[in-house]
Amino acid sequence: MSTKPAPNEAPVAEFAGQLLFRLWRASHTRTADALSAVGLTPALFALLNVLGTRDGAIQQELSADMAIDPSAMVTLIDELEGAGLAERRRRPNDRRAWEVTITPKGRRALERSRRAAAEVEDEVLSGLTAAERNELLSLLRRALGSVPAPPPWRSEEED
């Protein structure tokens, strides 16, 4: 047994970025495959996931949340809306902005997607114990929380 009987399996000093990328890609391809059964892409699932907790936020806030370009957010919402999973409605005070809400259908799709994503996560992190997975997620969240955002779409921090 063992899937790595390779003789010259040198460590190959790797940096965090490379490890993150390879584990992400392993997760990404599997997630994309699993989500296709729900009719979603990883990007749409990520947005739906945000909408699950930030329901009613406007596009600007959503794009800042997900750290993507506002124009990319337009496309994502278009697709969600086209699939009947989310809806746009004008914000009462400011009719320039669109509040995005998740539909009941969208919430059902979200639940199914979450289960699918959880299964993939189980598989990808199968080498870690439950405690270690929590530790990993905790470390990732904390690292992310203290990373300043240099890109143009910085959130609305500051005055």
Nearest to residue 42, comparing CAs of 120, 102, 144, 123?
120
Cα–Cα separations (whole angstroms), residue 49 to 80, 115, 126, 159: 12, 12, 23, 28
Minimum distance from residue 61 beta carbon to DNA (Å): 7
Q: Tokens 């609305």 correspond to what residue?
A: 156
Judged by CB under 7 A, the residue of 23, 37, 56, 69 near DNA is 69
- How does DSSP assign 24-40, residue by residue? HHHHHHHHHHHHTTTT-
Residues numbered 15-44 forming contacts with DNA, rule: CB under 7 A: 25, 29, 41-43
Judged by CB under 7 A, the residue of 49, 52, 54, 60 near DNA is 60
Minimum distance from residue 104 beta carbon to DNA (Å): 21
Minimum distance from residue 36 beta carbon to DNA (Å): 10
Element housing 87 (H / E): strand 86-90
Interface with DNA (CB under 7 A): 25, 29, 41-43, 58-60, 68-75, 77-78, 88, 93-98, 151-152
